[in-house]
């Protein structure tokens, strides 16, 4: 009989439901999926024993690190769910500048604080509670990704439990197929990563935030200018435009606005202000309700993210990479930015800067701009209305859609391209070789035969 240092739950055990769902971020949970057992692993040996247990008992394996996947990829039928929540420690090698972190360490609340004490930075996810596990495996759109690249580009090695239950190191020299796949395969990575080894950078010393608030009716004019200015801006500025409804003032109904933000992560106040200065060139800047540049901190940025993404709310999320002529992009995106039925829903336009060639890794699809909607709400009776609205808004965006980012995707609802064809084919070869029995679950897709294709092209 297999024994574990961690806790093992079967459906009849007290605490089973809690083990399945208590670490899931999205309160809109799957009604028709349930694992056969849950292992809350204590350490990497437990993870390996869990994989061997699954093999002996003819179960597939699903994995959870931070529990933030919108579609709740970790909860799947006929599986042993291996919860890695306790694998959340970090070590720093000062000579190499490499941090080694467990997959459940939270990129913002934990890893960033650990590195700040050492004067270092890693561009983890924006929401501070996202686990580095799922985030890095799908590419990782972290702070200032526009200038500093996808977070997965800073992965130098991983420790992995394979489908046979062996613990191996994968990097550019050894098990390099797993190392290649771990940077972009997302939820169909054929193994369980028990540790990530990450290159860090010296920490910026000055963080300045530019915020301009426009009427939502100015969306088209602001975006026409944004498409001109964003490619010219310094790589140390993260540029995000957000459609949102600020809190009500004096009981007035909440009104949607369009907020243009620039966050400079710089070496001096002068450098930060200079990097943000082009944002003052908006031709309708005089119409902004607010236009400020203030000093900020990662703590303030983290608090803002938590406020925008409250825990235990219901969420629909969807996203698209867009490219094309500016006027066509603006027309196609107008519904998703201006017509949301939920006041707490927000939609972002994330400038990706000038396109550069990516290193050879599974992650391989991107575009000059990223659009994502996070439809946050509390009332479950709005589920179907919200689903229909988001699907319709994404249909409107189709003419300029290149594909999508796995991180904000839900393939149980709709499937889009997320990887270059050649990379997807190579990944399938690696999966077939590394996991011939299908021990690890694959993409949780409505139609597994059409994964990595835009649904309207099938």
Ligand X SMILES: Cc1cc2nc3c(=O)[nH]c(=O)nc-3n(C[C@H](O)[C@H](O)[C@H](O)COP(=O)(O)OP(=O)(O)OC[C@H]3O[C@@H](n4cnc5c(N)ncnc54)[C@H](O)[C@@H]3O)c2cc1C
Residue ranges binding ligand X (CB under 6 A): 25, 62-70, 73-74, 84, 103, 125-127, 130-131, 133-135, 137-138, 140-141, 187, 189, 192-193, 309, 407-408
Strand arrangement, sheet containing 206-215: 290-295, 206-215, 257-266, 237-244, 346-351, 369-377, 314-322, 401-403
In angstroms, the CA 79 to CA 57 distance is: 10
CA–CA gap between residue 328 and residue 319 (Å, rounded): 17
Q: How far apart are alpha carbons 266 and 388 in whole angstroms?
A: 42
**Least distance between ligand X and beta carbon 232 (Å):** 24
Q: In the complex, what is the shortest distance from the CB of residue 62 to ligand X, in angstroms, rounded to a whole number?
A: 6
Among all chains, which residue has been given the structure tokens 């970090």? 90
| CA atoms within 13 Å, Cβ hemisphere of 113 | 10
Residues in the chain: 458
Quote the least distance from Cβ 159 to ligand X, whole Å.
10
CA distance 324 to 227: 11
Shortest reach from residue 386's CB to ligand X, in Å = 16
Question: Which residues are CB-neighbours of 3 under 8 A, at least 6 positions away?
Answer: 49
Q: Which is nearer to ligand X, 204 or 214 (CB)?
A: 204
Number of CB atoms found within 10 A of residue 425's CB? 11
Q: How far is the CB of 285 from ligand X (least distance, A)?
A: 28
Q: Smallest distance, Å, CB 94 to ligand X? A: 25
CB-count burial class (<10 Å; 0-12, 13-18, 19+) for 291: middle
Residue 397 to residues 88, 264, 331, 335, 411, Cα–Cα distance (Å): 39, 30, 8, 8, 17
Nearer to ligand X, 25 or 214 (CB): 25
21/225 with CB nearer ligand X: 21
User: Would you say 33 or 126 has its CB closer to ligand X?
Assistant: 126
Helix (H) or strand (E) holding 90: strand 90-93
CB nearer ligand X, residue 91 or residue 290:
91
CB 406 to ligand X: min, Å:
7
**Dihedral, CA atoms, 22, 133, 306, 293, nearest 10 degrees?**
180
Work out how close the CB of 85 gets to ligand X at its nearest, in angstroms, rounded to a whole number.
Answer: 9
Q: How far apart are CA 297 and CA 209, in angstroms?
A: 9
């Amino acid at each position: 009989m297999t024994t574990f240092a961690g806790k093992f739950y079967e459906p009849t055990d007290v605490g089973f439901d809690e083990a399945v769902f208590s670490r899931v971020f999205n309160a809109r949970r799957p009604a028709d999926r349930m694992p056969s057992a849950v292992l809350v692993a204590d350490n990497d040996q437990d993870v390996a024993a869990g994989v061997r247990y699954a093999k002996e008992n003819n179960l597939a394996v699903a994995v959870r690190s931070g529990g933030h996947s919108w579609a709740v990829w970790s909860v799947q039928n006929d599986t042993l769910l291996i919860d890695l929540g306790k694998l959340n420690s970090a070590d720093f090698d000062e000579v190499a500048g490499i941090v080694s972190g467990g997959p459940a360490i939270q990129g913002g609340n934990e890893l960033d604080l650990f590195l700040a004490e050492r004067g270092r930075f890693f561009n983890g996810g924006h929401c501070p509670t996202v686990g580095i596990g799922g985030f890095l495996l799908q590419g990782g759109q972290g702070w200032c990704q526009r200038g500093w690249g996808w977070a997965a580009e800073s992965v130098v090695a991983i420790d992995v439990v394979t489908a046979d239950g062996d613990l191996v190191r994968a990097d550019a020299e050894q098990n390099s197929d797993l190392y290649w796949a771990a940077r972009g395969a997302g939820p169909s990575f054929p193994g369980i990563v028990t540790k990530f080894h990450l290159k860090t950078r010296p920490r910026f010393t000055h963080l300045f935030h530019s915020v301009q608030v426009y009427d939502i009716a100015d969306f088209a004019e602001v975006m026409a200018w944004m498409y001109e200015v964003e490619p010219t801006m310094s790589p140390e500025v993260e540029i995000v435009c957000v459609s949102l409804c600020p809190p009500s003032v004096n009981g007035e109904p909440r009104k949607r606005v369009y907020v243009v933000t620039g966050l400079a992560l710089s070496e001096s106040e002068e450098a930060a202000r200079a990097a943000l200065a082009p944002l003052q060139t908006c031709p309708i800047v005089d119409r902004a309700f607010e236009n400020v540049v203030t000093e900020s901190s990662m703590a303030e940025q983290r608090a803002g993210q938590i406020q925008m993404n409250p825990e235990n709310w219901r969420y629909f999320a969807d996203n698209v990479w867009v490219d094309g002529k500016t006027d066509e992009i603006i027309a196609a995106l107008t519904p998703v930015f201006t017509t949301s039925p939920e006041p707490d829903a927000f939609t972002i336009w994330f400038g990706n800067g000038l396109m550069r060639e990516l290193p050879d890794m599974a992650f391989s699809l991107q575009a000059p701009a990223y659009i994502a909607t996070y439809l946050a709400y509390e009332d479950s009776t709005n589920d179907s209305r919200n689903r229909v609205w988001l699907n319709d808004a994404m249909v409107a965006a189709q003419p300029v859609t290149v594909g999508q980012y796995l991180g904000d995707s839900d393939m149980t609802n709709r499937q889009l391209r997320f990887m270059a064809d050649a990379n997807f084919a190579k990944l399938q070869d690696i999966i077939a070789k590394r996991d011939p029995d299908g021990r690890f679950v694959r993409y949780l897709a409505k139609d597994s035969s059409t994964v990595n294709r835009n649904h309207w092209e099938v």
